[in-house]
Chains A and B, each alone.
Chain A
């Protein structure tokens, strides 16, 4: 596997323009002759499908949801960044570029990040034209907020429903093309494998989740926009169905998987309340603007919060980071919360949580101001926990939230398999070791609206495709293999449910490959995951048949792939013998507990090549060079 990032030369702010000019174009009359498969209808998938269809390509789009509008992107709350500088507060494309590279702790590819910052501007224009109701001032102009510790206000938002509104925009554009006939949309269809012919991605095999039919689909190029894999932890802020199957299957077929250990833990989520817990709910980070985070000074202090005098409270973030205080970056505040809990100073029934207290803010600003700012979030919290944050402090705890790792892609978003493109959270591209708040929506839409439609044209125009149909042996083989695999889950006939086993995997990953990772922890995980995988194939029970709507069967397939993927994730975490961004190796920290990078040995992307079940994967490196932002140790002191 050789890694050619295909980064165009020239000064960074000219690269994308120049590249677009140099790319081959498909003659408009010929576009409809090309078939493109897009797996995923989230922000990345829907925007790509709609735009490719507008251009005239023949698009087939797949998702496992019952409607494209339900993709996990819908859940994004906070907002989307763009270097519009409408506030005139000194923002610029270069600053967004700089912040993203620095925030990513210098583990992202400069050229991609700069293109992302350039395109951010067009995204907002496009979305407004589609009818996305971004928040506005009384003057009628768009308003912005500052997000995730950025020094400028560049985040556009639609109440607490930014992701929903952006996705509805893309979804509506997609449905318009469905009507025009240029997109054929297949909902409740799960991609279970990728089909290569002569080394090129030429199609996929899916399972119709209603009838159970296993079907093949042919195309000239395939896009995976299948989202992130945070559910490897079982409990995460992701939707229940989010999974790794699509990219893992592509990986097994030869696509390099980059930085799988780069995962992001979000500091402000509602703590787990019991072992029946099915997922964790995120509370917008904006709460940290006014809430103060604390735990009791004394370990095991059981008193209710209001009985604990200030003298016996530890506002630890304000103590550690006088300048940033409660707004310290995601990874840092997450890790600190974990330390507190490990010291036995955690709060709440389970002892796993810290307080986010609005008492002082309410005193200072008055209840109405707080209500005006956070009313809906407070209601949500009250609804879920039954506790009223106006009277008692919120309890929060970090939870897995986003995965920076994913399939490796070059500047054109093509993976190491020719004709296989990867967009959105599913690729590794732009966020390095840590993603800034409000940057994922931006990346998904940049990929889908503006990058893929251009770069894929170059590939299609420059390739001669042999005519194949689903009768081709390659499709037959994969179909048979998928059929067998699906049947196997039903045949195990053990005693334990998918959820039980998935919980076990989640626990292992959370304990050893979560917020803080150590060599021996990871080694333990690397030995327990195969054991669990082996038990999965003995103890699993999937009732029902493969010929009906069978949710246990769907979940079983996803867990099986997580069980293989999890091992690679720990392997990568062990291999990356440094701390950077979301990846914290306890062996590598400054005396005051900050992540300590090892730029000499690890200023590269780790790209893993699959070598068959049971064999150790092979690592390839894409060396990263920083010509426009100079490498510097991150400091939030």
Chain B
């Protein structure tokens, strides 16, 4: 099949940026979306142009490196699928696609479709961990964990940190990412001691990094390749509220 691509090209963080039109010809339905772009890039290189820059690594939907917006949808139209796992059989000959980077003040564009997501790392630094100095751990079965809360913790822990939630959110809010981490650690017994300081610190950092606030649109959940539920945002809100009604250090 042949496609028309309008791809966002931006030479650097300070560059204006513009859309450029490319034709992707002879695209096989078995290609992944990134492989389709590889082919476009091969041709650009052959013609002496600079290939389109996009982040990717595992191409298995787990590392969270890939991600851009196709026709307004982060990671493209397929539910619970990263763009590296999106295959061309979901497109028709003659389709016209607009390909844009994540758009958020907290994610400055580095080049073309590649953005700087280090704000997410700083969110984790703010409290997205359980302090357990190496060697100090008790036996792994010393503390039992009910299967129910364990499974819910795992659902949240599945977040791959791709940033699609931010890209999808009309407010460019990172509440789903933050809620997922607060939920993952807050649902486990090991996460209790730092539970309330964690949520306060993470929310403060979330605001400082320039993410928007959450007005419960739910677009993030729709875009999330791991199907993380907005229930974790509710959980975060509840924890933040509770954090104010208990003694410091409880």
Q: How far is the CA of A84 from the CA of B196 in the complex (A)?
A: 33
Partner pick for A126 among B11, B125, B135, CB 8 A cutoff: B135
Contact of A136 among B63, B131, B135, B145 (CB under 8 A): B145
Are A281 and B140 in touch, CB under 8 angstroms?
A: no
In this assembly, does A158 line the interface, its C-beta being within 8 Å of a C-beta of chain B? yes
Residue in contact with B60 in the complex, picked from A122, A165, A274, A281, CB distance below 8 Å: A281
Chain A nearest Cβ from B115, distance in angstroms: 9
Q: Which of B1-9, B29-37, B98-106, B213-221 contacts the other chain? A: B29-37
Contact residues in B for A130 (Cβ distance below 8 Å): 129-130, 132, 190
A residues 165-197 touching B (CB-CB < 8 Å): 165, 168, 171-173, 175-176, 178-179, 185, 187
Q: Once bound together, how far apart are the Cα atoms of A138 and B148, in whole Å?
A: 8
Size bin of chain B's contact surface = 35 or more
Q: Tell whether B178 is near chain A: CB-to-CB under 8 Å.
A: no
**B118 interface residue (CB < 8 Å to A):** yes
Q: Mark A375-409, 1 if CB is under 8 A from B, else 0.
A: 00000100111100000000000000000000000
Tell me whether B30 and A273 are in contact (CB under 8 A): yes
Chain B residues with CB below 8 A from A133, complex form: 150, 153-154, 157, 184, 188
Please give me the residue from chain B that is nearest to A493 by CB atom. B48
A315 interface residue (CB < 8 Å to B): no
Please determine whether A187 and B31 come into contact, CB atoms closer than 8 angstroms.
no
Of A137, A543, A548, the most chain B CB neighbours within 10 A belong to A543
How does the 8 Å CB contact mask read for A525-564 relative to B, with 1 for contact and 0 for none? 0000000000000000101100011111000000000000
Q: Are B38 and A276 in contact (CB under 8 A)?
A: yes
Q: Decide: A175 and B129 in contact? CB cutoff 8 A.
A: yes
Q: Is A302 among interface residues, defined by CB-CB distance under 8 A?
A: no
State whether A179 touches B126 (Cβ < 8 A): yes
B131 touches A548 (CB 8 A): no
Whether B58 pairs with A126 at a CB distance below 8 angstroms is: no
Chain A residue nearest to B111 (CB atoms) is A549
Which of A62-70, A92-100, A477-485 lines the interface with chain B? A62-70
Instruction: Determine chain B's interface SS by DSSP, over half rule.
Output: loop
Instruction: Kindly identify which residue among A86, A210, A495 contacts B141, using a CB–CB cutoff of 8 Å.
Output: A86
**Given contact pairs A140-B145, A543-B48, A240 touches B57 in the complex (Cβ within 8 A):** yes
The answer on a CB contact under 8 Å between A128 and B147 is no
Question: In B106-120, which residues have CB < 8 Å from any A CB?
Answer: 110-111, 114, 116-118, 120
Q: Report the separation of the CA atoms of residues A134 and B144 in the bound assembly, to the nearest whole angstrom.
A: 12
Q: Which residue on chain B has the smallest CB distance to residue A69?
A: B161
Q: How large is the interface on A (under 10, 10 to 19, 20 to 34, 35 or more residues)?
A: 35 or more
B222 located at the interface, meaning its Cβ lies under 8 Å from any Cβ of chain A in the complex: no
A51, A161, A499: the one contacting B42 at CB < 8 Å is A499
Interface residues of A in 193-225 (CB under 8 A from B): 210
Q: How far is the CB of B44 from chain A (nearest CB, A)?
A: 8
The verdict on A603 contacting chain B, using a C-beta distance below 8 Å, is no
The reply to whether the CB of B28 lies closer than 8 angstroms to some CB of chain A is: yes
User: Contact check: which of B39, B50, B63, B134 meets A239 at CB < 8 Å?
Assistant: B63
> Which 6 A-B pairs give the minimum distances between C-beta atoms?
A140-B144, A172-B129, A129-B137, A129-B132, A125-B137, A179-B125
Can you list 20 A-B contacts (CB < 8 A)? Answer: A66-B116, A70-B57, A70-B64, A72-B57, A74-B58, A75-B62, A129-B130, A129-B137, A129-B138, A131-B157, A136-B150, A164-B158, A172-B128, A210-B110, A241-B57, A383-B81, A497-B42, A543-B45, A551-B51, A551-B53
